């Protein structure tokens, strides 16, 4: 999942981004409201974390602008103010949830998971493909009942493939959802991570799950004969 974090306080933004990346989210940071609107226009995000008190344009203005453009992904607003009127203003501007600062990071993660479950592309807590099981809450992965140890980025890529089971996904959507704006589109990083996943998930099993469609992308499925490899 790729998240846009809109926060002008560098220390707070760094803390949140670091924690989210450790949980396998790809994170882009915008420092003001105008930059947030630009980022949301050129990139595809699964969720936005939006501070209310921002320079240039405040969070309520940004939220209304995003919804006015048809932006449908969940928006979680952050603010140092927790009065009822502030929460109402945030929700009325188009936010899906509201979290007051200071907050416990575990609560932020729980709210993100709840919002993603409620979004258009519902995420089951445990996704299964053949004998592969992926827990989207704990990030635990097993194949044939045996645990598979993955790095945060390996997990993020696998989750994206699993949630698109049976569909060919190309490099561009993978980069959009699994990596952030620092991703080099000319690198072979996606191929490297696909190779790592295959080594951990397909080696030693009679049925391969990760397949390549030459010139198109990758597909995760238990169906035989769907790829070129």
136: pLDDT confidence band, cut at 50, 70 and 90?
Answer: confident
Instruction: Taking residues 90-104, report their average pLDDT.
Output: 86
Q: In the chain, where does the domain assigned CATH 1.10.10.10 lie? A: 126-220
Provide the CATH number for the domain formed by 126-220 in this structure.
1.10.10.10
Contacts of 158 (CB under 8 A, 6+ apart): 134, 141, 150, 197, 201, 220
DSSP 8-state symbol, 156: H
Alpha carbon dihedral 154, 160, 162, 166, in 10-degree steps, equals: -130
CB–CB of 33/164 below 8 Å? no
CB–CB of 124/136 below 8 Å? yes
Say which range, 60-74, 107-121, 157-171, 205-219, has the weakest mean pLDDT: 107-121
Highest mean pLDDT among 95-104, 129-138, 191-200: 191-200
Q: Which region, left, alpha or beta, applies to residue 70 given φ > 0 means left and ψ of -120 to 50 means alpha?
A: left
Higher-pLDDT residue of 186 and 193 is 193
CB–CB of 74/48 below 8 Å? yes
209: pLDDT confidence band, cut at 50, 70 and 90?
Answer: very high
206: pLDDT confidence band, cut at 50, 70 and 90?
Answer: confident
Query: Rounded to a whole number, what is the distance in angstroms from the first to the last CA of the chain?
Result: 27
CB–CB of 94/66 below 8 Å? yes
207: pLDDT confidence band, cut at 50, 70 and 90?
Answer: confident
**CA–CA distance from 218 to each of 121, 124, 211 (Å)?**
20, 22, 6
Q: Give pLDDT, residue 33.
A: 94
Q: In the chain, where does the domain assigned CATH 3.40.50.2300 lie? A: 2-118
Count of Cβ atoms closer than 10 Å to residue 76 Cβ: 21
* pLDDT for 226 beyond 70: no
- Is omega for the bond preceding 102 within 30 degrees of 0, making it cis? yes
Q: Which region, left, alpha or beta, applies to residue 168 given φ > 0 means left and ψ of -120 to 50 means alpha?
A: beta
Residue 99: beta bridge partners?
Answer: 78
DSSP 8-state symbol, 182: T
Instruction: Taking residues 161-188, report their average pLDDT.
Output: 86
Instruction: Taking residues 42-51, report their average pLDDT.
Output: 92
How far apart are alpha carbons 20 and 16 in whole angstroms?
6
How far apart are alpha carbons 203 and 23 in whole angstroms?
26
Q: What's the half-sphere exposure (Cβ side, CA atoms, 13 Å) at 137?
A: 9
H/E element, 62: helix 59-68
Say which range, 102-111, 174-183, 187-196, 207-216, has the weakest mean pLDDT: 174-183
Q: What percent of the chain lies above the pLDDT cut of 70?
A: 93
Provide the CATH number for the domain formed by 2-118 in this structure.
3.40.50.2300
Q: Give pLDDT, residue 227.
A: 60
Burial 112-124 (b: 16+ CB within 10 A, else e): bbebbeebeeebe
Instruction: Taking residues 201-219, report their average pLDDT.
Output: 88
């Amino acid at each position: 999942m790729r998240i846009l974090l809109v926060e002008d306080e560098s220390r707070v933004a760094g803390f949140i981004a670091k924690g989210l990346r450790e949980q396998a989210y790809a994170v882009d940071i915008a420092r003001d409201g105008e930059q947030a609107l630009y980022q949301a226009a050129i990139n595809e995000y699964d969720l936005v974390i939006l501070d209310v008190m921002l320079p240039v344009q405040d969070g309520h203005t940004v939220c209304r602008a995003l919804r006015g453009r048809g932006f449908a992904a969940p928006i979680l607003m952050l603010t140092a103010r927790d009065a009822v009127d502030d929460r109402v203003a945030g929700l009325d501007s188009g936010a899906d949830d509201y979290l007051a600062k200071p907050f416990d990071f575990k609560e932020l993660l729980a709210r993100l998971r709840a919002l993603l479950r409620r979004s258009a592309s519902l995420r089951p807590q445990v996704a299964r493909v053949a004998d592969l099981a992926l827990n989207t809450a704990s990030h635990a992965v097993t194949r044939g009942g045996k645990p598979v140890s993955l790095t945060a980025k390996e997990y993020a890529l696998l989750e994206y493939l699993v949630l698109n089971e049976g569909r060919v996904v190309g490099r561009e959507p993978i980069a959009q959802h699994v990596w952030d704006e620092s991703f080099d589109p000319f690198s072979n990083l996606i191929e490297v991570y696909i190779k790592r996943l295959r080594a951990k998930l397909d080696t030693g099993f009679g049925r391969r799950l990760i397949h390549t469609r030459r010139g198109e992308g990758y597909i995760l499925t238990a169906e035989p004969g769907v790829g070129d490899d």
